[in-house]
Structures are given as C-alpha cells and as structure tokens.
C-alpha cells in the first residue's frame, strides 16, 4: 500500500478488512463491523476527500499477484472484456443513470462498469475498469482504453474474449494491431468477411468445416479472428 500516506494506511487496511468480513459493504456497514463507535465519518472522508491514486493502488495489486505462480499471468491465459451494473439509489452518484439490465430483466438505476479480467486454468481476477457515462463515453471506446492499459502493464494473455456489444470492426482492429487473437459471440444476421466474400454469419456457419479432427501439432489458418462463437439470435 505504498500509494497511501502513512496516516491513511490504517483506513485502507480497515476498508479491505470490511470488504472481506462485513456483509454490508457500504461505509456504514464496514464501520459497524470493524470500527469503534462513531468512526464512520473518518472512513467516509478517506473515500471522498483524501487524495490517493486509485490507479497506482491497482498497479500495486497486480504486481503483487505476479509474485505467485498460481496468479501470474501467462500468454496461455485470456482477457475477458465485459460490462456489469451496480444498482444504486442516490441521484447524485457519479455517472449513475437509468439502464436496462438483462439479468433483472428491466430498467435499473445504477452505474455501468466496463471491465477487463484475467483468467486461466488456475485463477481468475479483475484487471482494471472504466465507469461508463451516457453523455461522455462510448462503451467500445472505453474497452479500447482498457486494452491500451493492459498492453502498457504487459498483461501477457494472447487471447481476448468479448460478447456482441464489443464485436465491432473498430475494437477487433485495435486488438489485432497488438497481435492479439480474439473470440466473440455474434448475432446470426451480422455481416462478416470470409474467404474474400461478404456474408451473414448464419450463412458462414454452413460453409465452415465442423467435422472433428486431430493434428500432430497445433495449426492455425490465418488470424484466429476468423474464429467465431456463433450464437443464433
């Protein structure tokens, strides 16, 4: 926790303890669970008024994870780009708004978080995120920012996974400039280029050889960007 001044490290440790141990993850819930009576105000100031670098804290967390064999990222791992909602109540929370949440399903008031996580056969953990604002951002634009950040900090996963929301020419082209492979679900009526032709994905599915076969060694045919997990919508 080198990003915190000495006097703030106590609050940082209290916050981490509360997030792990308390059922209610709010400032009040953490205070009630791990702090003496009337200590909520100091913890609230730590989150809202004290000046500390969230990005540096996240980099320190990721550096710590690289010190253990079970959590160190490798080229065989994958990066999952996706987004989620945090349901809120207050109207003045930054970037809170009305969103349609398919998991409800229905409209909710909350924040939309665009995130990237790392996964392999030993571990899964969050890498970084961006907070989406309806009037200020595009989701694909924020996802591109995440990719640039992951390249900067040398996340070595060779393959990126994402759903239809991010399967755009802009995003996949950006990934390919870094030499990254990608796998995405796409809608069946989406148009793709394959073998010099422009055709719908459902038509492409009929042309792809799906007969199981084995080879003496791994092979690829051009870029793996031709791999499509087709979901029939």
CB 106 within 8 A of CB 100: yes
Distance CA 44, CA 34 (A): 14
**Tokens in use for 6?**
């000495």
**Tokens in use for 76?**
């065989």
Query: Residues 141-187: pLDDT tens digits?
Result: 999 999 999 999 999 999 999 998 898 889 999 999 999 999 998 88
Q: How many H-runs (helices) and E-runs (strands) does the chain carry?
A: 7, 9
Closest CA to 137 of 196, 178, 75, 94: 94
Altogether, the residues listed in the chain come to a count of 233
Residue ranges of the domains in the chain? 1-52, 53-230
pLDDT category at 216 given cuts 50, 70, 90 is low
Residue with tokens 């394959």: 194
Average pLDDT value for residue range 92-120: 92
Distance CA 65, CA 60 (A): 9
pTM of the model: 0.77
> Considering just the CA atoms, what is the radius of gyration of the chain in Å?
22
pLDDT category at 79 given cuts 50, 70, 90 is very high
| Structure confidence at residue 220 (pLDDT) | 41
| Structure confidence at residue 64 (pLDDT) | 94
Cis peptide before 45 (omega within 30 of 0): no
């Amino acid at each position: 926790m080198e990003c915190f001044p000495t006097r703030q490290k106590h609050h940082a440790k209290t916050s981490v303890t509360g997030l792990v141990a308390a059922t209610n993850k709010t400032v009040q819930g953490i205070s009630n669970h791990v702090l003496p009576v009337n200590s909520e105000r100091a913890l609230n100031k730590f989150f809202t008024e004290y000046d500390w670098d969230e990005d540096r804290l996240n980099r320190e967390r990721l550096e710590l994870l690289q010190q253990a064999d079970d959590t160190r990222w490798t080229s065989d791992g994958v990066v999952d780009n996706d987004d989620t909602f945090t349901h809120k109540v207050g109207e003045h929370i930054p970037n809170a708004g009305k969103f349609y949440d398919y998991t409800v399903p229905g409209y909710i008031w909350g924040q939309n978080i665009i995130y990237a996580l790392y996964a392999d056969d030993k571990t899964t953990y969050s890498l970084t995120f961006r907070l989406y604002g309806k009037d200020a951002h595009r989701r694909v634009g924020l996802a591109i920012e995440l990719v640039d950040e992951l390249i900067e900090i040398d996340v070595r996963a060779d393959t990126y996974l994402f759903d239809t929301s991010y399967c755009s020419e802009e995003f996949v082209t950006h990934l390919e400039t870094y030499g990254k492979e990608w796998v995405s679900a796409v809608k069946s009526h989406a148009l793709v280029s394959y073998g010099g032709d422009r055709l719908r994905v459902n038509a492409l599915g009929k042309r792809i050889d799906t007969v199981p076969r084995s080879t003496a060694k791994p092979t690829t045919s051009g870029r793996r960007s031709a791999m499509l997990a087709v979901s029939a919508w």
